[in-house]
Structure 1
């Protein structure tokens, strides 16, 4: 017998590198009748959801855009920006060469961060949510938000959280749009500033587009803004005239500056390199919302000293980009320090000191919380979207690895029944979460567009979206904090499972091979989602306030919103005869929720707030999954819905089910696990012995 040969750095076993396929594939790229249009995509739930809320067939401009973008996000050149963004964190240069405060370019971000931002703007991660009336452009007779968030879902796994400022940009656009018709009053030029800023926020053109910050958090507390210490006051006529005289009355895009002056300290800002910000500050009439550009003209003084001349030289690039011949500086913003965080390494999160920041009041004095809430609803939706999108990439890597990983006796991991059962269960949870996110997305779109327009020609929108604007808004108001809390938590747990499914490889920061295997990065980044824009506890309290709103005057808010919606969807499901047992289980779960809410006062409901979140999630996702399944009777979709309902049934229903169920057919169950987890890959290679590794 020949002695065994020792392995070395160049010899021995080497695992084949899995290749992650594009997440979405347009049905138009495959001959008709070859397979289900949903199964062409590696992530069939996205394709199924798009077919529910968009006209059937999906408009060509949307389908082709998502098809191409799903491939762009996996290009090695794109993924290299992701790596660079993660390993080259931002830094600050607080002083000039001779020790002056650097008011020109104190923040340095990585090339990767800047390049990812350049990719996402024309891709429409914000812009596709808004109308773009252009000569010859096709009419947008569909839910624009569904298109926008479909794009985001494909982007999140690659974006390295460069989507964070885009969330705030989206929210700021919604806020400014609400005030288009406000008179300028004692703030001359405000309406024009708001309109141009809005146009820039929703633009698809990198040379014109802006991003926005959202600055609320201070040292006194996170989501509790009542302790805000930042203050704002009106400038005097003399102060305004002094800025005019020195040429410091405009921002660096030649828009007039507002007549308010803001001073204070913001403890957590995740869009430090934005073009504008919406922030809270105290005035004589209480907490108020303000709009402020982040850069302004440096003024005539820029030519009066050598240090200012140097400053002008440093701003040549930014001034030229703005189409201006004069230098600019920060609008009273000084970066105190950058945060050191577990994840989101590329995001320039900073502590900011504001001194004499020129700003416009947004809305009415003292109504800042009301104004900022419109941004919070958007950013919470973006947070949940990011959570689901990162989870999608983790599962994609796990699927591809499962199909090439060799285990004992030459078998592949995809032939291991225990592994398939485990990851099929994770896939069920993921698909439920994505459905919940896109219901909220569709509801948001419905509140912004005509109901008839966005439901016409769709397979599910007319059933899943309430007909009245009030019904849409109320359901969205209730589900937004539920979605943000539960999807964020689920994704952290789900990505941990994806990491484990790769074994030791999953725990490593795999930045080789384009970083596609780096689930550790996705896990680190996902950990922030249950925290920012309101923790899970804050979301639970928010839901309790909705359900026990004193203005409801004793009405059953839960039953008028979620209850009515649930009954409508279950009636549509019941007519198909597929889920007789599961329908009863969902009704029983809802009955427990309704009784809990109805019999609890505000204090008791607050204490059980997390249980309420789980109840609402279980019922809503059950309705969505069952409805999705009966649209086309797809066997995998039916089984996924059935498994979700049964795993979330009330204890008595679970006991009955266990008593009634006999031993199932193991071969059939394993095959279904494979189809749920691996999707089209399972269909293409049904026999384990002949399964081909995807190389």
Structure 2
């Protein structure tokens, strides 16, 4: 009688031969994106190309991809007290989180651009985020808030003098210590409260002046404060003169812990590597930033910066999941042919590629406007006005497209994409956050209306940008005319329709001016002339799928 072991060794019972499965994607080059480098050069940061390519190889490395996986599998843990009962309010992270943060800060993805005098430094940071985000999304939260805190602190020069050199440092120093004794700092923000959410004017946290000018004590409870292990926070609270902005350090100058009681960490849908918390203030020491009663106006520059990062992060998720889907279909066969060679799958991928390029191109245009605006390279104010309205438009539209995009990319992998090991479920859970963070869809759509009605020059700046492509594509010209009519007759209830058309005409104009004909034609045909279905993969028959895929997924991946 033949033993079971002998039968297994002979292959009689072998059922686990692996065939028709793609090899691991990593290592790969996360910067292999033609549209990204074209935008980088166009927006004045071509000097950063070598560094972005180097970062792309690191982001796509086996090591960095594993860091991203581990940081999300081993979530941060709250430790409210030490073993002796002392209140410590610390959050412990897996070492992979610290590896990710160390690279991000060293590569200038936090506050470093504010200390870089080269034109295009803010564009280079955005391009770096588009690439390094392939490794992991959650740690982009503290780097984004740190980046956005610097222009706000500049409203209070004596505070900026102390903290800005540390916020712009490229050294990651995660220990809780006196800020001025550290090699580098991270910043967070605490705006929302449970009774108001985005309606921060209903905040009830109170700020009481002390005998020392500019110093207050806070009492209240914040509802959604991410990255609670940051060193300093920008916080909104009600002072005697109204809602005001304050700087709250975790550790005071004398070395004592400021009162920052973390009540709990949020159990979130996604973004699970990043701790989000509910801190309680009770006698918490804070320094006033900007005038009393002008808190929203003071902190709004932070919001402009973080909204750009929401657009960037959505574009990054699109590109990452497109690459994952393209890799799978290149190596997977079904019904006698590779998936990449099947016409309907090519239509799906090409449609996703269009969306991805439009998002990346818009992101870099917004970054270019921001760079010129903050550097004062905007003599007539046009770029500042364009940045104001186009960032809100981009935040609304690109982040709205993210969940549908990642779902379609996941579906390209079939059942494999629904399994956690693929990484696609993590990307899918991450996508909705970016539409919610820094104002949900309604908040952003209404903000566009507010800008149009209250801030002179915003509509003119938008239409001046669209006019640069006038006459290049009749479908785009017709859509711009329709936009002007909608702008003249639109209502608050129709704000989403208006902002969607703004976004599509803006993306279309950028692609008509800068992308190859295959990209621009397919975008205008599908997004602007109505020859498009309600799901990805419904590009018209005339679309140049080979041209689109050859640009988005170069090499053998696009071979037909």
Same fold (TM > 0.5): yes
CA distance in 1, matches of 2:50, 2:312: 21
Task: After TM superposition, give the deviation of residue 178 of structure 1 in Å.
Answer: 3.7
Question: For the residues of structure 2 that align with 1:596 and 1:12, how far apart are their CA atoms?
Answer: 56
Residue aligning to 1:564: 464
- RMSD over aligned Cα atoms: 2.3
Specify the alignment match of 2:198 in structure 1.
Answer: 223
> In the aligned structure 2, how far is the partner of 1:145 from the partner of 1:205?
18
Matches within 5 A, 1:295-694: 295-296=251-252, 328-409=255-336, 411-449=337-375, 451=377, 468-510=379-421, 517-549=422-454, 559-567=459-467, 569-571=468-470, 574=471, 579=472, 582=473, 584-600=474-490, 604=491, 606-629=492-515, 637-650=516-529, 669=544, 671-672=546-547, 674-681=549-556, 686=559, 688=560
Higher mean alpha-carbon deviation, 436-445 vs 5-14, is at 5-14
Corresponding residue number in structure 1 for 2:99: 115
Q: Secondary structure at the match of 1:359?
A: strand
Question: 1:644-675: CA deviations, max 9, x gaps?
Answer: 11112255xx69xxxxxxx978xx94533542
For the 8 Å contact 1:495–1:522, the answer to whether it is kept is: yes
Matched, 1:77 2:56: no
Give the conservation status (yes or no) of the 8 Å contact 1:291–1:360.
Answer: yes
Match of 1:129 in 2: 113
Distance (whole Å) between structure 2 residues aligned to residue 671 and residue 650 of structure 1: 21
Cα distance in 1 for partners of 2:446, 2:432 equals: 21
Q: 2:44 aligned with 1:54, yes or no?
A: yes
Q: Deviation per CA, 1:43-79, whole angstroms, max 9, x where unpaired?
A: 2211221121236xx32xx222111111111222222
Contact 2:60 2:134 in 1 (8 A): no
CA contact (8 A) 2:242 2:293 kept: yes
Gaps of 5+ in 1: 25-40, 134-139, 181-190, 241-257, 300-327, 452-466, 511-516, 630-636, 656-662, 689-695
Gaps of 5+ in 2: 1-10, 174-182, 533-539
Cα distance per residue 1:185-216 (max 9 Å; x no partner): xxxxxx1x422211111111235121101100
Q: Verify: 1:15 aligned to 2:21, yes or no.
A: yes
Please list the CA deviations of residues 133-176 of structure 1 after superposition, one character each: whole Å capped at 9, or x if unmatched.
Answer: 7xxxxxx2x31111111101001121231010111111111111
**Structure 1 residues 348, 9: CA separation in 2 closer, same or farther (over 3 Å shift)?**
farther
Question: TM-score scaled to structure 2, two decimals?
Answer: 0.90
* Aligned residue in 1 for 2:148: 171
Is residue 282 from structure 1 mapped to residue 238 from structure 2 by the alignment?
Answer: yes
State how far apart, in whole Å, the 2-side matches of 1:156 and 1:682 are. 22
1:436–1:483 contact (8 Å) kept in structure 2: yes
User: Higher RCO, 1 or 2 (CA under 8 Å, sep at least 6)?
Assistant: 1
**Matching residue within 144, 147, 160 for 1:194:** 160
SS at match of 2:139: coil
Contact 2:522 2:544 in 1 (8 A): no
Q: Is the 8 A contact 2:30 2:59 kept in 1?
A: no
Query: 2:82 aligned to 91, 96, 104, which one?
Result: 96
Give deviations 1:484-518, integer Å, cap 9, x for gaps. Answer: 111111121111111000111111111xxxxxx41
Please report how far the alpha carbon of residue 470 of structure 1 lies from its aligned counterpart in structure 2 after TM superposition. Answer: 1.3
Matches of 1:677 and 1:284, distance apart in 2: 55
Task: Give the 3-state SS of the residue equivalent to 1:281 in structure 2.
Answer: strand
SS of alignment partner, residue 252 of structure 2:
strand
Greater CA drift, 287-296 or 89-98: 89-98
Q: What TM-score do the two structures reach when normalised by structure 1?
A: 0.73
3-state DSSP class of the match of 1:380?
Answer: helix
Post-superposition offset of 1:292? 1.6
Alignment partners' CA distance in 2, 1:6 and 1:443: 66
Q: Deviations over 1:245-267 (max 9, x none)?
A: xxxxxxxxxxxxx6211111001
Q: d(CA) in 1 for partners of 2:417 and 2:390?
A: 33
Aligned to 1:306: none
Q: CA deviation at 1:639?
A: 1.0
In 2, Cα distance between the equivalents of 1:203 and 1:334? 28
| Shift, 1:272, TM fit | 0.3
Provide the secondary structure at the position in 1 that maps to 2:385.
Answer: helix
Q: CA, structure 1 residues 146+84, in 2 after alignment: closer, same or farther (shift >3 Å)?
A: same
1:275 and 1:381 map into 2 onto residues whose CA distance is: 23
Q: 1:347 Cα deviation (Å)?
A: 0.8
**Residues paired across the two proteins, number:** 533
- Residue 7 of structure 2 is matched in structure 1 by none
Match for residue 152 of structure 1 among 129, 146, 149: 129
* Distance (Å, rounded) in 2 between the aligned partners of 1:178 and 1:595: 39
1:87 to 49, 66, 73: 73
4+ residue runs over 3 A deviation: 5-10, 668-674, 680-683
Are the aligned partners of 1:399 and 1:677 in contact in 2 as well (CA < 8 Å)? no
State the alpha-carbon separation in 2 of the partners of residues 283 and 215 from structure 1: 15
CA contact (8 A) 1:143 1:449 kept: no
Distance 2:106 2:90 in 1: 27
How many Å separate the matches in 2 of 1:564 and 1:77? 46
Task: Give the direction of change, closer, same or farther, for the CA distance of 1:597–1:347 in structure 2 (3 Å limit).
Answer: same
* Of 180, 184, 198, the match for 1:209: 184
